[in-house]
Structure 1
Amino acid sequence: MTQHVDVVVAGGGQAGLAAGYHLRRQGIDFTVLDAEPAPGGAWQHMWDSLRLFSPADHSSLPGRLMPAQPGEVYPAAGHVVDYLTDYEKRYDLPIQHGTRVDAVHRDADRLRVTTDSGTWRARAVISATGTWSRPFVPAAPGRGVFTGRQTHTVTYRSPADFAGQRVIVVGGGNSGAQIAADLTLDGHVDVTWVTRRPPRFLPDDIDGRALFDVATARRSALDAGRDDTGGVAALGDVVAVPPVRAARDAGLLNAKPMFSRLTAHGVQWADGSQSHADAVIWCTGFRPALAHLAPLTLRDPRGHIPTDGTRAVGEYRLHLLGYGDWTGPASATLIGVGRTAREATRQIAQLLGG
């Protein structure tokens, strides 16, 4: 059976909820299709010790402040899940959980959205599928011969899973630093943290509030034709959240240069020496989950979908929301996605009204 609606939103995490909020305010008929069986988006899969970079009141979606978590300055992932669950219910957003969007096709005057449970025809589509479902692991030499455990940020949960083991954590960004800190502070894991370049810690007083302002200022400068300020990347790579500061200040968070290759039972370093390892945790980031858009053939030779703001240049009825700065300053954050969601829905309202 084919169903008809003005707008389909693919993805019911924070970006999909922000889009839903603004679509409801515009009076647009829409539905949100979310592959997750329950509310909370990717936050329900985060590791146990994860904390936000910002206090609750600076980590909110449009229309509803996140309440503070008792006893915590920086809320835990579980608190975010509770907030998103409440947000979805509070605004009675029409979300179908457990529905995976497989593909988006051009179909006469509509976009046809096929899912694992039926087909939708819509006048516009907002893709808000995020990156969590596409973990990236580099093609490191020897990765196929290593006989130990290899995992990724996406499946890491707690130090208890690695008690008594020698673990190598790969990655110089926030997830690498936080997971390395989590393991070292536990005291029951032998941890080696490796990065391609020396880790760059942001000043201790910088958190998500300042990062949002920096990202916004960079976008404003670029839009006005001024010099690129460098944005957040110019400040550093790692936000010094309390566990990271604690591990760093205790001398437990010292990164080594990247190994030259994996061996059957560990790694080989640039000088030819070897170290045993039971597990490698790849904290090497994610890629946008955009396979459902392949039928639209929008990618350029670099594999990127060009956008004007959030709107796809090659398909004016499609908006991409929440994938990072290329779809809006800080749009992959709770506080940042609301602004770009508002602009995307405003443009969709103009399209539908025309």
Structure 2
Amino acid sequence: MNHTEVVVIGGGQAGLAVGYHLRRLGLDFVILDAQPTPGGAWQHTWDSLHLFSPAAHSSLPGRLMPPQPGETYPEAAHVVTYLTDYEQRYELPVVRPVHVEAVHRDGEFLRVETDSGTWQVGAVVSATGTWSRPFIPAVPGRTEFKGTQLHTVEYRSPTDFTGRRVIVVGGGNSGAQIAADLAYDTDLTWVTLREPRYLPDDIDGRALFDHATARRRALDEGRTDTGGVASLGDIVAVPPVRAARDAGLLKAQPMFARLTAAGVEWSDGMTAEADAIVWCTGFRPALSHLAPLGLRGPRGHIPTTGTQALGEPRLHLLGYGDWTGPASATLIGVGRPAREAARALADFLNRPR
């Protein structure tokens, strides 16, 4: 049995950010990461993915991301290098690869069971993100389609689909970026639930973070909901998306009614044949390890106040989206809730028992 004050589950950007603050506060902690190498989910993205923001506005606490030569918006590989350096620079105690199987209550402690042993701890920070839980909607006929089906997490490069008929499903950033990636060398059909809503071309991640923060402040102060980022649009017009859109290559079709053996069919009887379908339909929070605590609420979320679970004060959740802090699923956005979580943990663990 291993012992420490805090176990952080997940060694991606959220886990490293809270680790930075836990170290500054002098807490004893360990970060358990299921990945064999540093970089979190960024090491598994498609080849052409770039950040929405310049490097200086995509940084974790304490260490600015250096610019990538020749790139205004850094590539995913640059983020992996940055996270690797960040982990080493602050000597964060990351143990990998360790898969956390379950978290249980154990009297005044929590018990973290893994494939590499058990930890008895005073508190847990879950920072596992969403990448490992891709979501594909239950569209009729999915099992009938004879072509290839893959999710965002499995897509890598347009060269894998050159000359083929490809349907991309999804009107968010991933859907738009992958559709733009495929628009030149494939017979592309882009399908969205509603007409694509592009943010103004001059808006990038800096403005998105400001809007998310302003919304959270308004809600906390009891003022009118500003709508946050969702009020601006769904798609950041990064340069590749803008180029494909302006060239007339990103013309979205409405969502189809069902899949067929050869492709898809709309409710009006129109059909389209396809060799492959790429589901850019989002993710769900990866929280199965917390099931023994019995905390799940609506939409699979665990109710929280800030990052602290309402039903278990020894548990904090970090980096899953706005419900665990404004823009907390982003590099720049996770810093503030990470700091607040670390301070709350220090207060909790140091109180008289």
The corresponding residue for 1:90 is 89
Q: 2:191 aligns with which of 194, 203, 207?
A: 194
User: Does the 8 A contact of 2:307 with 2:324 survive in 1?
Assistant: yes
CA distance in 2, matches of 1:92, 1:98: 17
1:256-289 residue CA offsets vs partner (Å, 9 max, x unmatched): 0011110001111222022110000000000000
CA distance in 1, matches of 2:265, 2:300: 33
The corresponding residue for 1:123 is 122
The corresponding residue for 1:282 is 279
CA distance in 2, matches of 1:23, 1:273: 57
Alignment of 1:3-152 (within 5 A): 3-152=2-151
Q: Which SS does the other structure have where 2:224 is aligned?
A: coil
CA distance in 1, matches of 2:266, 2:295: 41
Q: Which SS does the other structure have where 2:333 is aligned?
A: helix
User: Does the 8 A contact of 2:103 with 2:289 survive in 1?
Assistant: yes
Q: Which SS does the other structure have where 2:103 is aligned?
A: strand
In structure 2, relative to structure 1, the CA distance for the partners of 1:352 and 1:65 (3 Å cut) is same
1:157-209 residue CA offsets vs partner (Å, 9 max, x unmatched): 0001111110000000000000000011xx22111000010010000000000
Identity of aligned residues (%): 75
CA distance in 2, matches of 1:288, 1:207: 25
| 1:302 Cα deviation from its structure 2 partner | 4.8
| Structure 2, unpaired ranges of 5+ | none
| 1:301 Cα deviation from its structure 2 partner | 5.3
1:6-61 residue CA offsets vs partner (Å, 9 max, x unmatched): 00000000000001000000000000000000000000001000000000000000
Instruction: Please state if 1:316 is matched with 2:313.
Output: yes
Q: TM-score, normalised by structure 1?
A: 0.98
The corresponding residue for 1:214 is 211
Write the letter of the residue equivalent to 2:199.
Answer: L
Instruction: Please state if 1:254 is matched with 2:251.
Output: yes
- The number of equivalent residue pairs is 351
CA distance in 1, matches of 2:209, 2:238: 16
1:289-342 residue CA offsets vs partner (Å, 9 max, x unmatched): 000000000113553310000000000000000000000001000001010000
CA distance in 1, matches of 2:171, 2:327: 20
Runs of at least 4 residues off by over 6 Å: none
CA distance in 2, matches of 1:301, 1:76: 35
Q: Which SS does the other structure have where 2:334 is aligned?
A: helix
The corresponding residue for 2:326 is 329
Alignment of 1:328-347 (within 5 A): 328-347=325-344
Q: Which SS does the other structure have where 1:44 is aligned?
A: helix
CA distance in 1, matches of 2:6, 2:81: 26
| 1:97 Cα deviation from its structure 2 partner | 1.4
Q: Which SS does the other structure have where 2:332 is aligned?
A: helix
CA distance in 2, matches of 1:206, 1:273: 37
CA distance in 1, matches of 2:48, 2:298: 40
The corresponding residue for 2:158 is 159
CA RMSD of aligned residues (A): 0.7
Write the letter of the residue equivalent to 1:137.
Answer: I
User: Does the 8 A contact of 2:285 with 2:301 survive in 1?
Assistant: no
| Structure 1, unpaired ranges of 5+ | none
| 1:126 Cα deviation from its structure 2 partner | 0.2
Q: Which SS does the other structure have where 2:235 is aligned?
A: coil
CA distance in 2, matches of 1:217, 1:234: 12
User: Does the 8 A contact of 2:68 with 2:78 survive in 1?
Assistant: yes
